[in-house]
Chains A and B, each alone.
Chain A
């Protein structure tokens, strides 16, 4: 049981906009930044979003992040086949630990 809650799966067709949610609590998302990671099949996680809504260099602006209270979301617009991957949210928890979401498997139909 992960501290941050994500839907196990999401899907969309090419060109669509898909949103992945991440729900936490006041001790993590509610008081700390949220980070998102993309894990392509058979590879290591890659930082996709930092400090709630900041994209690292090289991440397309099709990816965007938002946060409200104790929940966060990752939106992917103009969905492409190469976006098919597992997506994880993460945050610092005030209990002095890093917590991850359980991950969302995105399928591009």
Chain B
């Protein structure tokens, strides 16, 4: 079955760019579906960040759009997230997930990776 695994630095300095990758196994991204990122600050709720269609069409959270880029690399069967000018408020567990539609249907999710923004 399809599995997703996030990877990237666990510590990022303020004002720098956060870069995460989601490796997909058990399914070829080029075959279809949407692929998304969400995050969860410690002790808080979920926040959607961005979604990308396998063909490259993107959707962004309006509140984060100016700082976020989502991309897909079908040759590596992975998709990525870049978030610029990070602050302590961006400290969170970041999850990647497969989207059955562009809407809020995410299944399955990766296990998540904690990113801490600190100097």
Q: Which residues in A have some Cβ–Cβ distance to B below 8 Å? A: 2, 32-35, 37, 43-47, 50-51, 56, 88, 90-92, 95-103
Stretch from B19-27, B78-86, B106-114 that touches the partner: B106-114
B45/A97 in contact, CB under 8 A: no
Cα distance, A50 to B108, chains bound together (Å): 13
Interface footprint category on B: 20 to 34
B106/A92 in contact, CB under 8 A: no
Stretch from B9-17, B46-54, B68-76 that touches the partner: B46-54
Q: Which residues of B contact A98 (CB under 8 A)?
A: 36, 38, 48, 51, 61, 103-104
Interface centre among A34, A37, A91 (most CB of B within 10 A): A37
A88/B62 in contact, CB under 8 A: no
B105/A47 in contact, CB under 8 A: yes
Q: Is the interface of A mostly helix, strand, loop or mixed?
A: strand
* Contacts A/B (CB < 8 Å), 13 sampled: A45-B95, A46-B107, A46-B109, A47-B105, A47-B107, A51-B105, A90-B48, A98-B38, A98-B104, A101-B45, A102-B45, A103-B45, A103-B46
Cα distance, A2 to B60, chains bound together (Å): 17
Q: Which residues of B contact A102 (CB under 8 A)?
A: 45
